[in-house]
Amino acid sequence: MALVSFATVDRSTLRWLRSGSAPPEYTLSAGDQPVATLRWPPSGTTPIEVETADGTWRLERAGFLAPRLTARAVPQGAVLAHAEHHVIHLANGATFRIARAGLLVPAWKVRGVDQAEVAHVEPVAEGKSLAAGAVLVPPKATELDGLLVLLVLVWYFISLMWFEDEAVETLTT
What was the pLDDT predicted at 165? 60
pLDDT band with cut points at 50, 70 and 90 for residue 67: confident
DSSP 8-state symbol, 47 = P
Residue 80 identity (one-letter amino acid): L
The pLDDT of 82-98, averaged and rounded, is 96
Looking at the predicted structure, is the pLDDT value of residue 161 above 90? no
| Better pLDDT: 25 or 171 | 25
Q: Is 115 part of any domain?
A: yes
Average pLDDT taken over every residue of the chain: 90
φ, ψ of residue 164 in degrees (nearest 5): -65, -40
CA dihedral angle for residue 11, residue 14, residue 161, residue 85, rounded to 10 degrees: 10
The residue segments making up the domain with residue 82 are: 6-166
Q: Where residue 123 sits, what CATH number does that domain have?
A: 2.40.160
User: Is 171 part of any domain?
Assistant: no
What integer pLDDT is reported at residue 20 of this predicted model?
A: 80
Q: Do 133 and 161 contact (CB within 8 A), yes or no? A: no
Q: Report angle CA 147, 119, 11 to the nearest 5 degrees.
A: 55
Residue 110 lies in a domain: yes
Residue 108's Cβ-side half-sphere holds a number of Cα atoms within 13 Å equal to 23
Residue 158: phi and psi, rounded to 5, are -65, -45
Is position 172 within any domain?
A: no
Q: Work out the pLDDT band at 142, boundaries 50, 70, 90.
A: very high
Look at residue 28 and tell me if it is in a domain. yes
Domain count for the chain: 1
Amino acid sitting at position 88? I
Please check whether residue 152 lies inside any domain of the structure: yes
